[in-house]
Amino acid sequence: MINPKVSIIIPVYNVDPYLRQCLGSIISQTFENIEIIIINDCSTDNSYQIIQEYQEKDKRIITINLEKNTGLGNTRNTGLKHSTGKYIVFIDSDDWVEKNYIETLCNSIEKNNCDFVIATHYTYDNSTKKLKSFKQKEFFYKNEVDSIAKKQKLITLRMIWSVWNKIYKRDFLTANNISFKTNRMEDNLFIYNVILKASKIILIKNAIYYYRINRKNSIMDNRTDRIYDCIEIAAMIKKLLVSNNVFEIYSKSFYPYLALMFAAELEVSNLYLAELKKISEVLKHVFFEDMKIPFYKTYDKCIYKIRLFCFYSCLKYGINYAILGRILRKFYNLFH
């Protein structure tokens, strides 16, 4: 396609049970001026055959077959390198979108002249087959995010730390040299950079992305050592803030963001409790000792306040949060 307006980037690795639903939702979009860049990261199942099947149906599909498995971050960078659209959209290959998803996002980013737009999403539990709407506070749908104070609020929101359910100006990403620097938890650093550099951000309700959770063999399903990835990402984000001379300004949101990320990982990690206690001691000394305001005071939602007050107290008094956190997680899951 000559001069497509939107480039949709889809990394693929061993997702043949879900890939048809994903690609079917994309080729049937009401907005047709798109290129669909699929990067096959050396899949060993039937994913490539499914890609070929859809490429025969739709000439807007561009397939890139990698010679060796490079991981999600590098795969998305390959998609960015080959993209030609004015706007960039990432869609994960086990997810799907509403028919008017691209049209709604594209209209929103052009109408509001912002650097990126965040859509609403639903989680789809692959084990229970239940859908759950995930909306943010009404404040964010009524106000543009165009100041440091509003960005601070945005950073502490749950479930914005993903590159999917968003549309970006490609020139904005290029001008600010924004790409994926890691292959695990690669979304976090990317989105942090985008928020820091964006002059205006909006959130909208009427573009729907469906995010699949609890599927077997997903990256998110591997809880063995993800907390080490969290530590690496946290250090990289701090370095990013320091290098941009904004660490003191953004520390108000940096600490709550880290606390929620680490608390969640300690709650679900299947590492030995003794190892998790050692990790908590490292977290305290490396990240939280110079904190001026207790991070639990930032959150309004009761469940976050309780969890993070407990996490804060455990760090302060040398108690293993992983034990208490697992109890809190089970209690929370009973009612959600």
Q: Render pLDDT for 27-86 as a digit per residue (tens, 0 to 9).
A: 999 999 999 999 999 999 999 999 999 999 999 999 999 999 999 999 999 999 999 999
**More confident site: 283 or 303:** 283
Token readout for 39 is 């990067």
**pLDDT, position 224:** 64
Cα–Cα distance, 285 to 297 (Å, whole number): 20
88, 174 in Cβ contact below 8 A? Answer: no
pTM flag (> 0.75)? yes
Q: What is the mean pLDDT of residues 163-190?
A: 94
Q: Render pLDDT for 245-281 as a digit per residue (tens, 0 to 9).
A: 999 999 999 999 999 999 999 999 999 999 999 999 9
**More confident site: 123 or 304:** 123
Q: Is the pLDDT of residue 223 over 70?
A: no
Instruction: Quickly state the pLDDT bin for 300 (edges 50, 70, 90).
Output: confident
Cα–Cα distance, 315 to 288 (Å, whole number): 9
Average pLDDT score over the chain: 92
The per-type count for the chain, helices as H runs and strands as E runs, is 13, 9
Cα–Cα distance, 180 to 64 (Å, whole number): 18
What residues contact residue 216 under an 8 Å CB cut-off, 6+ apart? none
Domains and CATH numbers, the chain: 6-219 (3.90.550.10), 222-334 (no CATH)
Q: Is the pLDDT of residue 131 over 80?
A: yes
**pLDDT, position 91:** 98
Q: Render pLDDT for 178-218 as a digit per residue (tens, 0 to 9).
A: 999 988 888 999 999 999 999 999 999 999 999 999 877 66
**Three-state DSSP class for residue 289:** coil
Q: Is the pLDDT of residue 220 over 60?
A: no
**pLDDT, position 336:** 60
* 137 backbone φψ class: left, alpha, beta (φ>0; ψ -120 to 50): beta
